Amino acid sequence: MQPDELILQLKKQNEVAFSQIYDMYSENIFGIINNIVKDVEIAEEVLQDVFIKVWNKSDSYSSDKGRFFTWLLNISRNAAIDKVRSKAYKNKLKNSDFDDFSFFIKDDMDLDSQSDGYGLRKFVDKLKPMCVKLIDLLFFKGYTQKEVSETLDIPLGTVKSRNRSCLNSLRETLG
Amino acid sequence: MNTKDYIESGLLELYVYGVLSPKEQAKVAQDVAKDPELQAEVESIETILLELSKATSPGVKPSLKESVITKLRSKSFQHKPKVKIMTSNYSYFGWAAAILLLGGILWLLKLNQDLQNDIEVVNSQLETKEVQITKASQKAETLEELLLQMGDPSTRKLTLPGNKLNAPNSSVIAFYTDEKEELILDISRLPEAPEGMVYQVWSLKFEPLTPKSIGLLAEANSTENRVFRFKNVPESEGFGITLEPAGGSEQPNLKQLYALGTI
């Protein structure tokens, strides 16, 4: 459910509403950002920038245009991509070790952490490799259908339906 | 397109991702608002995406929230006015003007320095001229005095012929004013005294011969070292000039007599 009342209060610059929205979405946004910048320290910087934008630009959100979560996603992905393109970022991370969100599981196994790959394993185990790539590009990275079709070399017309069936496999097992 | 087909198309997933064009996004938003079944499907998609994205989070540090809220409260983050740095042509004109002005100031300083130096040079030249003028006027005064004295009726002109041995072809002209006890000697025809020696003038009285030194021709007031003037000259019957060692002698060395004359 979308927290419509909180969003309304946020637009009125209500700090309590902002605090609640932060609590609701910060982990999701952090996951999205970290998947793009691939560095926790940098992701923390971007996360703060994103929530400052959420506060300053809450006026620009309208439910007529879409979901509040979608609005947050766009701000987060854009901020993270901007950071990746910045000089400071390029200086810090010369090259990345991983391609998509499933990397976090391998990382986690190596470290033998107590958590199960941030709870990610249960998702990735359900997904075919192509599904991991599709969801990574579309949801996490915000690629358009055309960009996904070119990157993964699959017909443009099938991107939508393939993505749905990938997501469905998650919904069936987890929902 | 019925609701089931709509759902099956996969458009709603992309709508929640936010990867459709703005036009498509708005269209789907409209459709969803009208249809509770689409609405429910969107909520369901969003739920799984929230779970998935949360699962990829390495965990947000609790301190970050406080940091964000502190930043919000600081005025600088609220509608921060954008300061545009002016880089128009005017600013270049400004720099150019500043540089020109600086150059002008430096040039004026240099000019001022040069003028100060010129003034110093001119001042020292002026001083030299003043000294020269003073000397010249003093000389003119002396000459005038000499001339007046020579023309005085009580002044007698004497010629002191050169001594045949030491200065055969020379002579000294003397002007003696006994009333004023003054003596003027013109020695322009005497040979120059050798180094370490000096001419000494003697007042003479005869029977018995009594010489009395009047002075040295190096020390007395002179005009160009040719015309000498002596004051407080004792009553004399004649004058003699001898060459003596520098500093003069008590008694004349008669072997070095150069000129001698009687009144």
Residue in chain A closest to B40 (alpha carbons) equals A1
Say yes or no for a CB contact (<8 Å) between B60 and A73.
Answer: no
3-state secondary structure (DSSP) of residue A106? helix
CB A73 within 8 A of CB A32: yes
B 40-99 residues inside an 8 A Cβ radius of A: 42-61, 64-65, 67-69, 71-72, 77-79
pLDDT band for position B223 (50/70/90)?
low
3-state secondary structure (DSSP) of residue A87? helix
Q: Which residues contact B72 (CB under 8 A, 6 or more apart)?
A: A15, A18, A52, A55, B78
Cα separation, A145 vs A155, whole angstroms: 10
Instruction: Give the model's pLDDT for residue A77.
Output: 95
pLDDT band for position A64 (50/70/90)?
confident
The amino acid at residue B121 is V
Cα separation, B260 vs A13, whole angstroms: 130
Give the number of other CB atoms < 10 A from CB of residue B212. Answer: 14
Q: Which residues contact B13 (CB under 8 A, 6 or more apart)?
A: A138, A160, A163, A164, A167, B45
pLDDT band for position A112 (50/70/90)?
very low
Q: What global pTM score does this model have?
A: 0.55
In this predicted complex, what is the ipTM? 0.87
> Which chain B residues have a beta carbon less than 8 Å from that of A40?
58
Instruction: Give the model's pLDDT for residue B16.
Output: 96
A133 to chain B, minimum CA–CA distance in Å?
14
Cα separation, B221 vs B246, whole angstroms: 17
Instruction: Give the model's pLDDT for residue A149.
Output: 94
CB A122 within 8 A of CB A116: yes
Instruction: Give the model's pLDDT for residue A75.
Output: 96
Q: Which of B15, B33, B60 sits opposite A26 (nearest CB)?
A: B60
> Which chain A residues have a beta carbon less than 8 Å from that of B65?
19, 22-23, 26
Mean pLDDT over each residue of chain B, to the nearest integer: 86
pLDDT band for position B185 (50/70/90)?
confident
Per the DSSP assignment, residues forming a β-bridge with A33 are none
3-state DSSP helix/strand/coil % of chain B, to nearest 5: 50, 20, 30
B85 to chain A, minimum CA–CA distance in Å?
21
Say yes or no for a CB contact (<8 Å) between A15 and B72.
Answer: yes
The residue length of chain B stands at 263
Per the DSSP assignment, residues forming a β-bridge with B230 are B183
Q: What is the pLDDT of residues B125-178, one digit of tens each?
A: 999 999 999 989 988 888 888 888 888 888 888 888 888 777 788 888 888 888
Instruction: Give the model's pLDDT for residue B147.
Output: 83
Say yes or no for a CB contact (<8 Å) between B46 and A69.
Answer: yes
